[in-house]
Structure 1
Amino acid sequence: MNTKIKKYLPALIVLAIIVYSAVGLDYSEAKNISFPMIQSVIVGLFQPDWSFVYDGSGEDLVSLLLLTIGIAFLGTFIATFLAIPFTLLSAKNLWKSTGIVAKIGKFILNVLRAFPELVYAIIFVKMVGPGAFAGVLAIGAHQIGMLGKLYTEEMEGMDEKLVESMDAVGANFWQTMFFTRLPQLMPTYISLALNHFEIAVRSAATLGLVGAGGIGAPMIFAIQSRAWDKVGIILVGIIITVFVIDAVTGYIRKKLQ
């Protein structure tokens, strides 16, 4: 194959995919665009309903955002610890003689993270009923797969010199794990967990759409009733919440470096 063709082949493939995707879309609904509706949406979003911020009912913006943060925190907290056993199962450097075990562990993690939180939320709402508990389970199940994958990659990529030194003085597997591997990896693991907590807050904000608690339920009701001023204040609350959490977790991650 010509050298120039090889050089530009990846870019040509990407371009072909973009063109195929654009051509394959159905644009027939574009004729239904209503500019007065767009105007009313934009005007409503920029005139937020400040009375919804807090009224003491437990169904106001502040209360529901705190519930959303709680769902994200508890789900990530559970996943942070449950991902470690899956990491021990999936890291190939821990199973040098029986590589099939690591492959099975990675397959399980692939399955867990294959489904988005919204799908898990629908399943858990049917299993345990609507509410925040279903949201916690949905976040936790998905985050186990995500954090487990990242933890495994860090475990497989760590410096093995200290481990070899421990082996040389007769340390067993668990001594090596608790006194060498985990202390070396723990700052990175905590940083990854904090990063996924931020992601979980964004995800938890939508889980209420299917009855899994949080701010999503009033947001979808407001959209359905075209109460754009209420949608506007909810979006403002989500943006501020995500910004504050990002700043706090970013500060903690810097301290861990």
Structure 2
Amino acid sequence: MPVLESDAGPVWRKRTKGQALARWFGWLLGVAIFLWCWQRISDKTTWFFVWDAPDIAADVLSRATPPRWEYIDRLWWPIWDTINIATLGTIAALIMAVPVAFLAARNTTPSAIFIRPIALLIIVATRSINSLIWALLLIAIIGPGVFAGIVAIAIRSIGFCAKLLYEAIEEIDATQVEAITATGASRWQVMAYGIVPQIAPAFAGIAVFRWDINIRESTVLGLVGAGGIGLQLQGSLNTLAWPQVSLILLVILLAVVISEWVSAKVRGAII
């Protein structure tokens, strides 16, 4: 904190004159960038449709109510497919994420120079692409259906699970590992008895948390043909069957709420 001299004695200021000018320049630059971006967005926006949006939304809502309750019989199987996509995709992701996490952690990787960067690249690559993009790519490769949705969810979840898990591995208590190593245990015994018990609660929490996220993501995979209740939603939207759309949205909401409740209960029991 700079001290400035004056006739009345030293004056304390939070910033020097140069720091204050730099701060104001930063704010001015930020405002200029914001105004430029807003101008670009405004030029490409049809404001007539924006101002008309409340009336359109009210019209759609009036068409969508009441929901078509008799359509519920056609949603049980799609919502079951959605749950299976999330569950099987999460299990497959965990199976693949565990070795990647051990290869990425500094204290367990066989080579910090060669293998660890590859493991980190896998984590970043799988986390960087949205599950919808993975689903589009996989549908082009293996065709539409539930299997493409499972693989898309699995690939998308590898990076998430592996990142949290390798961070948990790096934070373990090293003294336990040293004690087991001192007994002459092999590398695999050290891992089984010194590392795995310490990360087991974190692993269980990560698995449940990711499954909860995947329930939400799998509900929309059907929009691109990857199976599940999203396929019914896409068909209803294409035919402007708004009562069916509202019912499907209610079913999706109910499924997400139940998955959130189950996830919270399981995490509470683990922690």
Common topology (TM > 0.5): yes
Percent of aligned pairs with the same amino acid: 29
Per-residue deviation at 1:140?
0.5
Taking the aligned partners of 2:36 and 2:172, their CA distance within structure 1 comes to: 42
The one-letter amino acid of 1:25's match is I
Taking the aligned partners of 2:28 and 2:268, their CA distance within structure 1 comes to: 40
Per-residue deviation at 1:38?
2.0
Q: In the alignment, which of 25, 32, 39 is matched to residue 49 of structure 2?
A: 32
Aligned residue runs from structure 1 range 59-138, under 5 A = 60-95=74-109, 98-138=112-152
Per-residue deviation at 1:243?
0.5
Taking the aligned partners of 1:151 and 1:165, their CA distance within structure 2 comes to: 23
Per-residue deviation at 1:72?
0.6
Taking the aligned partners of 2:155 and 2:55, their CA distance within structure 1 comes to: 43
Tell me the TM-score normalised to structure 1 length: 0.88
* Residue 179 of structure 1 pairs with residue 193 of structure 2: yes
Q: In the alignment, which of 56, 72, 77 is matched to residue 53 of structure 1?
A: 72
Q: In the alignment, which of 219, 230, 233 is matched to residue 219 of structure 1?
A: 233
Q: In the alignment, which of 214, 220, 228 is matched to residue 206 of structure 1?
A: 220
Taking the aligned partners of 2:265 and 2:26, their CA distance within structure 1 comes to: 38
Per-residue deviation at 1:32?
2.5
The residue aligned with 1:188 is 202
Structure 1 gaps, min length 5: 55-59
Taking the aligned partners of 2:21 and 2:236, their CA distance within structure 1 comes to: 53
The residue aligned with 1:139 is 153
Distance 1:171-1:8 versus aligned 2 partners, 3 A rule: farther
Per-residue deviation at 1:144?
0.9
2:114 is paired with a residue of what secondary structure? helix
List per-residue Cα deviations over 1:108-164 (Å, max 9, x = no partner): 211111111111101111111110000000000111121111111111122212112
Q: Which has the larger radius of gyration?
A: 2
- Work out whether residues 44 and 232 of structure 1, in 8 Å CA contact, stay in contact via their aligned partners in 2: no
Q: In the alignment, which of 214, 230, 243 is matched to residue 229 of structure 1?
A: 243
Tell me the TM-score normalised to structure 2 length: 0.84
Taking the aligned partners of 1:82 and 1:10, their CA distance within structure 2 comes to: 45
Taking the aligned partners of 1:46 and 1:171, their CA distance within structure 2 comes to: 67
Distance 1:8-1:171 versus aligned 2 partners, 3 A rule: farther
- Work out whether residues 92 and 99 of structure 1, in 8 Å CA contact, stay in contact via their aligned partners in 2: no
The one-letter amino acid of 2:57's match is I
Distance 1:252-1:112 versus aligned 2 partners, 3 A rule: same
- Work out whether residues 63 and 242 of structure 2, in 8 Å CA contact, stay in contact via their aligned partners in 1: yes
Q: In the alignment, which of 24, 30, 41 is matched to residue 60 of structure 2?
A: 41
Size of the aligned set, in residue pairs, is: 252
The residue aligned with 2:5 is none
Taking the aligned partners of 1:209 and 1:233, their CA distance within structure 2 comes to: 16
Q: Which has the higher contact order (CA 8 A, sep 6+)?
A: 1
